[in-house]
Structure 1
Amino acid sequence: MSDSIDTVLFDLDDTLCRYRRGADEVLELAFERAGVGPVFEPTTYYARYREYLERADGFADFHERCFGDLAVDAGHDRADGIAVAREFREERDQRNVEALPGAAATLEALADEYALGLITNGLSAMQRQKLEATGLDRAFETTVFAGEDTAPKPDPEPFSVALDELGSSPERAVYVGNSLSSDVAGARAAGLDSVWVPRGTKTTNPEPRPSYVLESLAELQSPPWR
């Protein structure tokens, strides 16, 4: 890559923002507030998340359908799962989301030189809420809600859609994310170079291999492809 880069695309979750409380803690509170006990294990929710994301009709439908099915599978009433879903959404509101350190400053610095786009797996209602809560909602010229607007990452489709909307192309763009399996693999499938900003311990030999590895978002203010 070189100075021919004119577009920088970003992932959202755990790249630009994070939850103050994890889903495990929010689920525990939701079970308690619904008064039904732990009707399913958090791991089963994580394992089936993408399955329901791909076929849900809106934010509320996503959790109610998923939690209802998980409750039934565990031998409980569907109504118990739906009650948990409602409490879960209520608990995981805007106050539970925050921008990661350096996110706003990095986007502001890059906006002077590059077109900025967002590609995030998730329902639009849920992801827009996060963007508004963190104040990042006006930073992007285009946003693709993969899994709703297109196939979810790592499918190349959301990358192609974002680049078309920005009038760019794979060789003139990079994608920034924290996930090897979703972000780096998706960027590679779409023909883009990738910037991996891992949260937590870095893998010594990451696979798929990202084009660039950074310690923090702030490093992007001096782009590594220059």
Structure 2
Amino acid sequence: MSTTAVPPAAVRPLAVLFDLDDTLWPIGPVIARAELTLHAWLGQHAPKVARRFSIEQLRERRMELLRRQPELAIDLSAVRRAGLLAAFAEAGEDALHVEAAMRHFLAARNEVVPYDDVLPGLLRLKQRLRLGTISNGNGDLAAIGLEQHFEVSLAACHFGRGKPDPAIFLAACATLGVAPQQAVYVGDDLRLDVVGAQGAGLRAVWLNRHGGDAHLAAGVVPDAICSSFDEVRHWIERQLEE
């Protein structure tokens, strides 16, 4: 059951913006599978790298790179590419294969399956509201097959600033032609999605599919807490009726 902290006098929403990974689809198993298939690809096309580095070692090297250069987190594809380039150089492998490796990984990374309640919910909401997305990740809505449902899709790697920076939320609202208070943002991450959106003047729905009360420990007060996309849709529809 969804909970809400929105006052009765809240502005009627005109637009809804969504996070992507773990909001519209589960991403953990997809990334794990993509890394497995990438490592198998490396075994065929860059065997020196595959022999020298396990999936876990390649992952740890990326994490270490981010610890040293946290500013790279704005572009996850660039982080993975940099990690591969370093691994290829250390293993003495031809770096010409790196871009093919990235294409192979990204194709697998975009083989996501939306949660069952997402597509029906989007189809209902787009009849009454303008829809968009804001993501810090590297999901490709065109490759996934959902691009047509959104009027704007901002990715941190292209915009140059990511969540929770207010700028990316404000830019999405401006593109849709709505004021921040006329927009609702839906996401699964308390800091990036809820705190970020509220800091930019949007209402924020925490889509908490797995339960728990992490928001209390974090001191975050979402405008609504929902456990499914259906609950998100019902909450938004109630705002339209007030």
Q: Which has the higher contact order (CA 8 A, sep 6+)?
A: 2
TM-score category by the smaller chain? 0.7 to 0.9
The structure-2 alpha-carbon separation of the partners of 1:79 and 1:23, relative to structure 1 and needing over 3 Å to count, comes to farther
What pairs up with 1:1-226 in 2 under 5 angstroms? Answer: 1=6, 2=10, 4-19=12-27, 21-35=29-43, 36-37=50-51, 38=53, 40-46=57-63, 48=66, 51-52=71-72, 54=74, 63-69=80-86, 71=87, 76-77=90-91, 79=93, 83=97, 86-87=100-101, 89-93=103-107, 96-122=111-137, 126-128=138-140, 131-204=141-214, 205=216, 207=218, 208-223=220-235, 226=239
Q: Which stretches of structure 1, 4 residues or longer, exceed 4 Å deviation after superposition?
A: 80-85
Contact in 1 for aligned 2:211/2:227 (Cα 8 Å): no
- Kindly state the Cα deviation for residue 154 of structure 1 after the two structures are TM-superposed: 0.8
- Kindly state the Cα deviation for residue 178 of structure 1 after the two structures are TM-superposed: 0.8
Which digits, 9 at most, give the CA deviation of each residue in 1:94-143, with x for residues without a partner? Answer: 67211122111111111122111111113xxx433xx2344321111111
Q: Secondary structure at the match of 1:96?
A: coil
TM score, norm. by length of structure 1 = 0.79
Write the distance in 2 (CA, Å) between the matches of 1:96 and 1:3. Answer: 37
Structure showing greater Rg: 2
The structure-2 alpha-carbon separation of the partners of 1:78 and 1:176, relative to structure 1 and needing over 3 Å to count, comes to farther
Q: Secondary structure at the match of 2:204?
A: strand
The structure-2 alpha-carbon separation of the partners of 1:93 and 1:20, relative to structure 1 and needing over 3 Å to count, comes to farther
List runs of 5+ in structure 1 lacking aligned partners.
none
TM score, norm. by length of structure 2 = 0.74
When the two structures are aligned, how many residues end up with a matched partner? Answer: 215
Could you say what the CA RMSD is over the residues aligned between the two structures, in angstroms? Answer: 3.1
The one-letter code sitting in structure 2 at the alignment partner of 1:149 is F
Q: Secondary structure at the match of 1:18?
A: coil
Write the distance in 2 (CA, Å) between the matches of 1:137 and 1:50. Answer: 29
The one-letter code sitting in structure 2 at the alignment partner of 1:217 is F
